[in-house]
Amino acid sequence: MKTLVFGAVTAVLLHITPTVVLVKRQDAVTRLLPGADQFAAREVHLSSTDSRRIHDAVGWEPPDGMVTFYVGKRQDQVTGALMFMRVDCQHGPLELAIGFDPSGTIRGVEVTKATVEMKPWVLDALRAGLTDAYRGLGLEQPPAGAERVKSKIGAMPGYMAELIDKGVMHAAAAYRLFYGRK
């Protein structure tokens, strides 16, 4: 019986808390692809060589070998592109929306999902102005949002900021390497 109780307590402690929506995906699309009235999903199925290429570049590759860019258009002119990017950690997944303008710089970043446990840490980091650091960032520039806000926030919000930096870096690498592929 002791083993059972111990097992149950351990299982509860190990359990990752449920995911909550911080920003609806549709709202993120509106903010990151302003003015667009037509959208297309550009799905890039990576070859092993390209998977290795992005892995060598940023230490990450899409787990199922596919990257999806949502392209926004107005009167057949591309107004930008957007990616949803998941970042995993031991506390659960974070989902980011990363918007790019047509010139390839980052237009903005929204944190769309987090877990119940991570939500207050993420909100702390966002309130400290984390996502301001990404606006206008070039594809070759490493995101340094965490460095910018760490002095104003606690350790866990700082850790969340590092994870968000990582997600932005992965998205920027994917955009740089594969967005223009035909």
Partner 1 sequence: MLYDLRHSDLRVRWLVTLLLATLGTSYLFGAWMVALYAGFSPRKVAETYGPAGEAVMAMQMPPDTTMVTERPVSTAEMGEEMHHVDRDLLVQDTHVHMPMYAVIAACLSVITLGLTVPRWAGLAIITLLFAAPWLDFAGMWLTKLASPRFAIVTLTGGWAMALGYGIVAALATYQMWWRKP
Residue ranges in contact with partner 1 by CB under 8 A:
4, 7-8, 10-11, 14-16, 24-26, 29-30, 38-51, 62-66, 68, 70-71, 84, 86, 88, 92-93, 178, 181-182
Question: Which CB atom, from 30 or from 141, has the smaller least distance to partner 1?
Answer: 30
C-alpha span between 154 and 131 (Å, rounded): 17
* Geometric angle at alpha carbon 124, from 121 and 125, rounded to 5°: 90
Question: Which CB atom, from 60 or from 105, has the smaller least distance to partner 1?
Answer: 60
Q: How far is the CB of 140 from partner 1 (least distance, A)?
A: 21
Q: How far is the CB of 126 from partner 1 (least distance, A)?
A: 21
Question: Which CB atom, from 7 or from 59, has the smaller least distance to partner 1?
Answer: 7
Q: How far is the CB of 70 from partner 1 (least distance, A)?
A: 6
In contact, 164 and 53? CB cutoff 8 Å: no
C-alpha span between 164 and 162 (Å, rounded): 5
In contact, 68 and 43? CB cutoff 8 Å: yes
Question: Which CB atom, from 38 or from 141, has the smaller least distance to partner 1?
Answer: 38
Q: How far is the CB of 79 from partner 1 (least distance, A)?
A: 13
Structural element, H or E, at residue 98: strand 92-100
Q: Which residue has the tokens 């506390």?
A: 91
